[in-house]
Amino acid sequence: MPAGKPMQETPEPGSNERVAKVTGRPSPEKQAEAVAALMKQHGTMKEGQKWTLIASRWLEAWVNHTKCKAFWQYRPDEKSTGGFPAPDAIDNSPLKAPPRPGAGDTPDSIVQIRLNAQEIRDFFYVPKPVWEVLVSWYGGGPLVERGTKLAGVIEKRVKVDLHPVFLLVSKCKSDGEADNENTMALPCPREGNLGEVLKTLAAEGSSSSSSGSPKERKGESPMETEDSGETEGKETENKDKELPVRFWYLETKRKEFPFKVGERVEACYNNEWYIGDLDALPVEDEYNRYSVICDVDKKAGKSTPKTLVKVIRRVEKLEGEGDIVSTWRPVTGAQLTTELGILKLAKGGVCKLMVERKVEGKWVRELKIKKWRDFQVDDNVDCKDTQFKWLPAVIKKVRTGDVYVHYVGYKERWDEWIPINSDRLAEPGSKCKERGVDDDDYYSSSSWGSGAETRGSVGLRNLGNTCFMNSTLQCMNATPSLVNFFVDGDYLSQINPDAYKSHGRIAKEFGALVKEMWASRPHTVTPRNFKSAIGEFAPRFSGYAQQDSQELLACLLEGLHEDLNRVRKKPYFPDPAIGNGTDDEKVAAKAWKMYQAREDSVVIDNIYGQIRSQVICPECNKASVKFDECGILQLPFPSVDTKVQVITVVPADIAKPRIKYGVTVNKNGKIADLKDATGVLSGIKASRLAIAEVYTGKIYKVLSPKADVSSIMDNDVIYAFECPLLDPENMPGTGVILAKVKHNSEDHRSSITRESIPFVVALPARKMKAGEMKEIVGASALAHMRKSEGKGAAATSGRPFKIGFKTSSYGEDYKYDEDEEYDLGSAELLAAVVTWNDSDDYASVPIHEDKTIKDLGGAGGDMITLNGCLQAFTKEEVLTHGNEYRCPTCKKMQRGKKKLDLWRLPNILIVQLKRFQYTRAWRDKIDTNVDYPLEGLDMAPWTKSKEFKRNAIYDLYAVSCHGGGLGGGHYWAYAKNLVDKNWYTLNDSSVRKMSEQAVKTKEAYLLFYARRGFDGTRAARDAQAKSPKSSS
């Protein structure tokens, strides 16, 4: 007996029944040799083959038992010395998906894969002969068989079609009914369509007819019949009738009868049902509502008892109402060209059809050719809107003489009633590109204007200030994993029709757009439907105002993720993963596992990473570390998020010098932060500092600690005055008031008024005589008196100045009378003036410069590097006022030290250079040139994860650029073509090849990097192998 030949009769491979374990199997060594020989002979995957799936848990147990080394995905455990027992019968049942809504009853021959199954983790692909020999030895099942197909954009490769659409095809009998006893399950790729299947069946029928009529056997294709002779039919308007075969689908509906005025009905109002009389039909209401006079309103004696609702039902059903009626309908029009993955007839992955062949040149079933104006619900029609523009539309309702149309791609508020005979209606496809109720992928294109003939590099038409959108789409179109995933149609098996907000439309429109952009002919694409979809998902993009490309990218990634999220029922985790800095690997893995349990899509697989965020409490030094997901890495410019504010500190002690500091503070911080930073440099407590703006020698205003740092303009002169301490015993008071003091001179030609340094003094908030106040102010003013006696000293009892006060902000009416009394407890402000008798008596106090000021001289430069931006991103900073965090140890809010680091590095790294700065006081765009590498960006120094340091080299493949000023300008893109590897300038409709050196530009805004060695083809395959997680 040859090695590997079954010892007993092999169970029928197509059986899905679990069978008993077969006895008398070969030894483990012989099993390993037999399977290895079969894998060597059949292990190379080729197009058109049949491969089977086998559960990973079982195969791994078998590999350990036999020590077989034929599977590269899994190696036997060589370290074990005790051996492994033989596995039980093969059990593929964990791979089976639960019944899908809308799929109906499916035969046992169809096995649909569980929607979260992954290759290697859950199953392996094995050739059909390997499955047959394994099941002959061990028994089990069910058989999960899949075909292979050729796919790929960057390079063609063979892959398994894991989630096909199954066509349950029955032959049409001579009486016109379906032969349900001989139904064949025909798996078809989701990117295919029924029109292609019909052509294949026609060719097969013609071939079988010319070679004779084989007898039909059980399990054989029902398309091969004795009566499959091909006869030329008459030409008709529909091209599908030119073929000798056609499809019918079984339409199932509940019988309904139109409502009539005066009927007793129940109206649904605020989720409650009210009985009443139907007063008017929706035709009389602009919002398409029924008018019902409810009994409760009539009894209450309301003057206007009419209730307008959209949902009603009869109190007593009519005979036959609600009964299910099944009718065979022909598959025509857009149903033949729509992708199977989004075809409503194939909802749930299964499509039941009947195939009819001509017999002696005639059809078995009579097809009534209705006129195109004999409208039915869901019919397609071209419709002219109120702006005289032809648009594709769908019939939603039909009544005598009118139809209710919905414009495809537009919101329901534009739906309207139109007379059936109106010239605003035209045959579908006669005025617009043909599209159907299931096919919303409408992209007009032309063969001019692109300027390039390389596949994938095409222009996008500007719809009106949509350059920001075109720039983002061009960069996404150059992303390897996404291009393969969408062009190959793998996304069709993962679309979630119940996705939040978009209900799958973002993924459908983006997929259709990418397919059109990768068509084989050179052309320019108009992304009108994508704009409509993204506008519905995020209303801020619904108009035609200029927007930000990064904001659109973030919205697009969110929409794609929601539409393709494999998680249908999200678990809840009450406790977040937070560490203390000693167990980062464990905490990061836990955080990522929790995140993927809720968010799992091709976007997360390839574009999202993790950022490590650490905050240290300044009081207890407790470190709190958490890991946040990140899709777009937003990098600040060095010293852009902070500013260096020049501040002159005036100490209360007149013997101490004035010192000018360069204080670094967060631009988005508060004046309180500026006080704190100034206090650290000067050694003065922040609580004793008053920050003020000085203008022409006087204190213009004292800045509130709650004011924003951004309120300080670049040319403002800022001082920090130390407030003198008050002696509470000698100067009792209920509070403190600051007196703003300026210098003046009797000589009006003197420059003292404009150039002198003002100061502040603290006075008790109570009633005081002017003489008492002058003593306090004069003590501080003496710091400005020359050491040698001036000309006016004798006139003022040894002081060369006089002091006046005022409590009004209007005028210069200073009072010099010493007996004047001031109520400082109720005064809104107090200003004082020191008027010098002679300018020679005044001496300006020298101002020393701190080292922080001298260091400013060498700062700056016309260019920064991307590494410099990464350094600014990871720089430690102190949390500003208002952004404190609650320390878990101290149990109170703290201004901790925060530091960000990268952790998990994604396959696709998207970097935003934060050129646009917005605050309450100003808006600005940073035009600084950033030097970024085209190849070899090393991210290892910037990640704290040892795992991701090993493969952290990235190469640039796309750039989104912005030129011009803030609030306007223009966007365009540079992208590296995935086929010819050349760089192209993609500027709306214009496409031009460019040099690699020109990719570096000062207008760069978004940078798209791919990990070196990252195989977009493999990534797309892995994403296709994963599928939405069921809610069970």
Residue 175 pLDDT: 83
Residue 368 pLDDT: 60
592 pLDDT higher than 90: yes
7 pLDDT higher than 50: no
| Residue given tokens 């993720």 in the structure block | 561
843 pLDDT higher than 60: yes
Determine the residue type at 517: M
The more confident residue out of 120 and 46 is: 46
Q: Are 107 and 167 in contact (CB under 8 A)?
A: no
Residue 227 pLDDT: 36
* β-pair partners for 970: 963
DSSP state string for 577-599: -EE-SS-HHHHHHHHHHHHHHH-
Average pLDDT over residues 155-183: 84
The more confident residue out of 972 and 113 is: 972
163 has catalytic annotation: no
How would residue 419 be classed by pLDDT, with cut points 50, 70 and 90?
very high
For 591-628, letters b (16+ CB in 10 Å) and e give: bbebbbeebbbbbbbbbbbbbbbbbbbeeeebbbbbbe
Average pLDDT over residues 247-270: 86
How would residue 862 be classed by pLDDT, with cut points 50, 70 and 90?
very low
Residue 422 pLDDT: 92
State the average pLDDT for the chain: 78
- Of the candidate ranges 227-236, 237-246, 247-256, 795-804, the one whose mean pLDDT is the lowest: 227-236
Residue 18 pLDDT: 37
How would residue 861 be classed by pLDDT, with cut points 50, 70 and 90?
very low
Q: Are 689 and 672 in contact (CB under 8 A)?
A: no
Q: How many residues does the chain have?
A: 1032
How many Cβ atoms are within 10 Å of 515's Cβ, its own excluded?
19
Residue 568 pLDDT: 81
86-91-92-97 Cα dihedral, nearest 10 degrees: -150
Give the tens place of pLDDT for each residue, 63-120: 888 888 887 656 666 555 557 888 999 999 888 887 665 455 667 778 888 766 778 7
The three-state secondary structure class of 773 is helix
DSSP tag of 814: -
How would residue 3 be classed by pLDDT, with cut points 50, 70 and 90?
very low
H/E stretch holding 720 reads: strand 717-722
Distance CA 662, CA 674 (A): 11
Give the tens place of pLDDT for each residue, 700-732: 788 888 888 888 887 788 999 887 665 444 444
742 pLDDT higher than 70: no
DSSP state string for 184-234: EEEEE-TT--HHHHHHHHHHHHHHHHHT--PPP-TTS-TT--TT----PPP
How would residue 919 be classed by pLDDT, with cut points 50, 70 and 90?
low
238 pLDDT higher than 80: no
Residue 754 pLDDT: 56
* Pair type for strands 165-172 and 350-357: parallel
Phi/psi class of residue 103: alpha, beta or left (left: φ > 0; alpha: ψ in -120 to 50)? alpha
556 pLDDT higher than 90: yes
Average pLDDT over residues 743-748: 64
Contacts of residue 474, Cβ cutoff 8 Å, sequence gap at least 6? 460, 958, 960, 973, 975, 986
Q: Are 955 and 936 in contact (CB under 8 A)?
A: yes
Residue 747 pLDDT: 62
How would residue 433 be classed by pLDDT, with cut points 50, 70 and 90?
low
Average pLDDT over residues 925-930: 81
- Of the candidate ranges 279-288, 332-341, 648-657, 864-873, the one whose mean pLDDT is the lowest: 279-288
Residue 100 pLDDT: 61
Residue 468 pLDDT: 93
| Residue given tokens 């079984």 in the structure block | 250
Average pLDDT over residues 352-379: 80
Average pLDDT over residues 30-55: 90
Residue 240 pLDDT: 41
How would residue 559 be classed by pLDDT, with cut points 50, 70 and 90?
very high
Q: Are 340 and 189 in contact (CB under 8 A)?
A: yes
- Of the candidate ranges 34-38, 39-43, 423-427, 699-703, the one whose mean pLDDT is the lowest: 699-703
The more confident residue out of 395 and 973 is: 973
Average pLDDT over residues 902-925: 81
Residue 704 pLDDT: 86
Provide, rounded to the nearest whole percent, the portion of the chain with pLDDT above 70: 78
Residue 1005 pLDDT: 94
The three-state secondary structure class of 842 is strand
955 pLDDT higher than 90: yes
For 635-667, letters b (16+ CB in 10 Å) and e give: bbbbbbbbbbbbbbbbbbebeeebbebbbebbb
The more confident residue out of 607 and 888 is: 607
Most confident of 147-161, 205-219, 464-478, 881-895: 464-478
The more confident residue out of 620 and 442 is: 620
The more confident residue out of 813 and 179 is: 179
User: Choosing from 42, 65, 881, 970, which is the catalytic residue?
Assistant: 970
Average pLDDT over residues 933-962: 92
263 pLDDT higher than 60: yes
* Pair type for strands 929-931 and 937-938: unpaired
Distance CA 506, CA 559 (A): 6
DSSP state string for 917-952: EE-SS-EEE---EEE--SS-EE-GGGB--HHHHTT-
Residue 73 pLDDT: 59
Provide, rounded to the nearest whole percent, the portion of the chain with pLDDT above 90: 21
- Of the candidate ranges 595-609, 815-829, 866-880, the one whose mean pLDDT is the lowest: 815-829
Pick the closest to residue 817 from 760, 754, 770 (CA basis): 770
- Of the candidate ranges 168-177, 583-592, 847-856, 908-917, the one whose mean pLDDT is the lowest: 847-856
Distance CA 807, CA 767 (A): 13
The three-state secondary structure class of 811 is coil
* β-pair partners for 425: 383
Q: Are 222 and 169 in contact (CB under 8 A)?
A: yes
Average pLDDT over residues 117-128: 85
Give the tens place of pLDDT for each residue, 757-770: 777 777 777 778 87
Distance CA 383, CA 925 (A): 45
Give the tens place of pLDDT for each residue, 284-336: 666 778 889 988 887 777 766 788 888 889 999 888 888 888 888 888 777 78
* β-pair partners for 249: 329, 353
The more confident residue out of 643 and 937 is: 937
| Residue given tokens 């006022």 in the structure block | 881
Residue 490 pLDDT: 81
- Provide the angle, in degrees to the nearest 10, between the axes of the packed helices 528-537 and 505-517: 160
Most confident of 150-154, 320-324, 651-655, 979-983: 979-983
467 has catalytic annotation: yes
- Which pTM does this prediction carry? 0.60
588 pLDDT higher than 90: yes
User: Choosing from 68, 294, 383, 467, which is the catalytic residue?
Assistant: 467
How many Cβ atoms are within 10 Å of 992's Cβ, its own excluded?
13
694 pLDDT higher than 90: no
Average pLDDT over residues 860-868: 68
